[in-house]
Amino acid sequence: MLLQANQLAKSFGGHEVFTSLDLKIDRRDRIGLIGVNGAGKSTLLQILTGELSADHGQIHHSRHVKISYLKQSIETSSGKTIWEEAKQAFTHLLTIEQDLRKLEQQMSHQADEKLLNRYANLETHFGKEGGYQYETAISSALQGLGLGSLDWHEQKVSELSGGQKTRLALARQLLEKPDLLILDEPTNYLDLNALTWLEQMLINYEKAFLVVSHDRYFLDRLVEQIWELEDGQLQQYTGNYTKYVELKEAARAEQEKNWKKQEQERKHHEDFVARNIVRATTSKRAQSRRKLLEKMERIDRPKQNQQKAAIRFEIERPSGQLVLTAKQLCCGYEEPLTSPLSFEIRRGERIALLGPNGVGKSTLLHTLAGKQEPLSGYFQLGHQVSLDLYDQEQRDLSSENRVLDEIWNSFPQYDQAAIRSFLGQFLFSQDEVFQKVSSLSGGEKARLSLLKRLLGRSNFLLLDEPSNHLDLISKERLETALDAYPGTLLFVSHDRYLIKRIANQIWELSPKGLTIFKGDYESYLEQKSQHKKQQQRTKEVQQKTDHHKQKKSHQQQQRQVAQLEEAIAQLERQIANVEQILCQPEVFENHQKLHLYEQELLDYQKQLEKKTEQWLKLVDDDV
């Protein structure tokens, strides 16, 4: 057991968040915590990690347990560089490393056996603890979580965006490998590549983790338990998210069946009591039935499927076949984010725009929506195209407006009753419509902005992360609405369930430009897999070719070495022979012969020097 909580309760200003919660986390547990926005998930995490006190209940930890907690957003003004911050995950190794450097300094002045043994033992321990691999691990984590484009050794943490700070904090916590890793919406700031990397890290994680997430794909791949916080109670299910849905529906159906059976039985008893309580002959039996009713433990009627944001997108009129044409379009600020883009979008296409963070996906949508001027090139909307943009930052909302006025000001053709009805469909009811927009949560702002898109009835929607901030129930309803939408879609998302259900094309944006994959998400993954396999096969063929060439080159080199060695030996014999001739009296006493043999010796020596240089170069290259 790593952590156990008993009878936890928490309230804020008279509002009861949860009560009487019991839970236990064991070693290697993989738990997904879910619930609607406002259910108290983050509050529970803060209590479990000691950042917030419970009103009631107790929490017990096993001895020496190490817990790391990643919040949804990280606010820090640290003056450390990215690399220095990440290295803090290995403080024990940094301490050993400092001790090794001190010992090296001492050994440079005094290298006795005791000091050498101490150094050897400490170095062995350093190696076993991963001292020679931790920098590689840091690089892998920073690269994997999408921070590879930053200057790790120069850029300060304080200079990073909120999303970058969160990813850096996540990298550090993964590198620390705590006994219990608690993550609150870790996928919010990750592109698909980083998300895939994180999933693989957690699949291989050998300790326990508790993760809050609205990403069903993520939960299906990783968790073995689902904890649902609902109406102040914690229900625990064994299995991943898909299994949880099955188990919850089965439990609801069973409760509905038992409730109906009990209601029939109760009504039968009540009718009997009503008919017989005043009759002298049956009064005792009626009183007995009444006591039976009083003792009956009532089964609560199960809640019907939770209220969902009722979203349905319709269009004013259909567009022409050609919705949008772009030619040599460059988007960005001072410099283009990608190579020039040329493409066409046709009616009915549902395009998921994917790519790494920072490549310009949102910038492209804002450019096509007319919110930003292109740097060069142009685009043109087709016949009868009406376009609307959903901005993940909700910049179309006015923070000082009331919720009611935010919609009414944009759509004055409706009366107040109609506006309140629309807002009610999006879960804004009663006095909530009079709240200031600035007081809304991220999920509430998302619903309000989606309502504006719905009422606009446009036939071409540009959606930038439309499922961000929505709870699981609202996400499912959004998918259903977009699936039934009769217009054209171009959307950015890292929600793989949404992409899988909606998209009929995948566009991949990179600095090099746009790669278009026809077909749905599964087809895209298959094409990517085949492309990766083909690249691997090409690489293997190239490696074999290079190896063959290298082997052939090596064999040729060996032959050249042998030939040079033979030539050198021949020249050395010739030099020795000439030197012997020069010692003969008939030669050194004859100036003409002496000059000829000296010239011959000089030629042989020059040839020997040249051949020796060639031989040395070949031998050095071979090494």
Which of these, 428, 451, 430, lies nearest to 440 by C-alpha position?
428
Q: How far apart are CA 355 and CA 500, in angstroms?
A: 16
pLDDT-derived band at 304 (thresholds 50, 70, 90) equals low
| Residue 313 confidence (pLDDT) | 87
Task: Using DSSP bridges, classify how beta strands 460-464 and 488-492 pair: parallel, antiparallel or unpaired.
Answer: parallel
* pLDDT computed for residue 598 by the predictor: 85
Report the pLDDT value the prediction gives residue 622, as an integer from 0 to 100: 63
pTM recorded for the entire structure: 0.77
Residues 507 and 419 in one domain: yes
- Give a yes or no: residue 604 inside a domain: yes
In the predicted structure, residue 85 carries a pLDDT above the cut 90: yes
- Which pLDDT score, from 0 to 100, does residue 306 have? 52
Average pLDDT over residues 83-106: 92
Residue 518: strand, helix, or coil: strand
The pLDDT of residue 359 is: 92
Residues 455 and 577 placed together within one structural domain of the fold: no
Q: Name the domain boundary from 150, 170, 190.
A: 170
Question: Phi/psi at 585 (nearest 5 deg)?
Answer: -60, -40
pLDDT at 310: 56
Phi-psi group of 287: left, alpha or beta (phi > 0 → left; psi -120 to 50 → alpha; rest → beta): alpha
Provide the pLDDT for residue 308: 53
Residue with tokens 């309580």: 277
Domain with 12 in it: what CATH number?
3.40.50.300
Residue 71 resides in a domain? no
Whether 117 and 166 share a structural domain: yes
pLDDT at 316: 92
Residue among 469, 464, 443 at smallest CA distance from 453: 464
- The amino acid sitting at 378 is Y
Q: Is residue 391 part of a domain?
A: yes
Q: Are residues 56 and 80 in the same domain?
A: no
pLDDT tens-digit series, residues 30-55: 999 999 888 899 999 999 999 999 99
Q: 159 and 184 share a domain?
A: no
Lowest mean pLDDT among 134-143, 150-159, 266-275, 518-527: 266-275
Q: Please, is 185 exposed, middle or buried when counting C-beta atoms within 10 Å of its C-beta (0-12, 13-18, 19+)?
A: buried
Side by side, which strands form the sheet with 322-330? 341-346, 322-330, 376-381
To the nearest whole number, what is the mean pLDDT of the chain?
Answer: 90
Q: How far apart are CA 56 and CA 124, in angstroms?
A: 49
Last residue of a domain, one of 276, 295, 314: 295
- 394 and 485 assigned to the same domain: yes
Considering its fold, how many domains does the chain have in total? Answer: 5
- Mark whether 498 and 405 lie in a shared domain: yes
Residue 150, classified by CB atoms within 10 Å of its CB into exposed (0-12), middle (13-18) or buried (19+), is: middle
Residues spanned by the domain of 152: 76-170
The reported pLDDT for the residue numbered 516 is 95
State the pLDDT confidence band at 534, using cuts at 50, 70 and 90: confident
Q: Which of 179-183, 353-357, 468-472, 486-490 has the lowest mean pLDDT?
A: 468-472
Q: Which of 289-303, 323-337, 461-475 has the lowest mean pLDDT?
A: 289-303
Q: How far apart are CA 440 and CA 390, in angstroms?
A: 17
First-residue to last-residue Cα distance in the chain: 57
Q: Do residue 362 and residue 446 come from a single domain?
A: yes
User: Taking residues 215-228, what's their average pLDDT?
Assistant: 96
- Which residue stretches of 413-495 are H helix? 416-425, 442-456, 472-484
- Do 427 and 375 lie in one domain? The reply is yes
Asked whether residue 309 is domain-assigned, the answer is no
- pLDDT tens track for 275-303: 887 776 778 888 888 888 888 888 888 87
pLDDT recorded at residue 593:
80
11 with 147, same domain: the answer is no
Closest CA to 19 of 232, 269, 161: 232
> In this structure, is residue 216 part of a structural domain?
yes
The single residue listed with the structure tokens 């629309």 is 422
Region 75-103 average pLDDT: 90
The model's pLDDT over 376-400, given as tens digits with 9 standing for 90+, comes to: 999 999 999 999 999 988 888 998 9
Identify the pLDDT of residue 457. 94
Look at residue 226 and tell me whether its pLDDT is greater than 90: yes
As a whole number of angstroms, the distance between CA 369 and CA 37 comes to 30
604 is written with which tokens? 């042989």
Separation of CA 355 from chain center: 12
Sign of CA pseudo-dihedral 288, 294, 295, 296: positive
In angstroms, rounded to a whole number, what is the distance separating the alpha carbons of residues 164 and 142? 10
503, amino acid identity: A
Classify residue 308: in a domain, yes or no: no
Asked if 509 and 421 sit in the same domain, the reply is yes
DSSP letter for 488, please: E
Q: Which of 120-134, 344-358, 404-418, 540-554 has the lowest mean pLDDT?
A: 540-554
State the CB neighbour count (10 A cutoff) for residue 380.
10
Selected residue with higher pLDDT from 308 and 274: 274
Check residue 374 and give its pLDDT.
Answer: 96
DSSP 72-118: SS------SBHHHHHHGGGHHHHHHHHHHHHHHHHHHH---HHHHHH
Residue 307 falls inside a structural domain: no
User: What's the pLDDT score for residue 388?
Assistant: 96
Regarding whether 186 and 153 lie in a shared domain, the answer is no
Q: For residue 307, what pLDDT band results from cuts at 50, 70 and 90?
A: low
Is 468 a residue whose pLDDT tops 90?
no
Q: What is the pLDDT of residue 156?
A: 93
Phi and psi angles of residue 584, each rounded to the nearest 5 degrees, phi first: -75, 135
Q: How confident is the model at residue 114 (pLDDT cuts 50, 70, 90)?
A: confident
**For residues 12-37, average pLDDT:** 93
Quote the pLDDT of residue 302. 81
Give the closest residue to 493 by CA, choosing from 366, 392, 370, 367: 392
Residue 311 falls inside a structural domain: no
pLDDT category at 266 given cuts 50, 70, 90 is: confident
Say what angle helices 521-582 and 591-622 make with each other, to 10 degrees: 160
Distance CA 455, CA 146 (A): 37
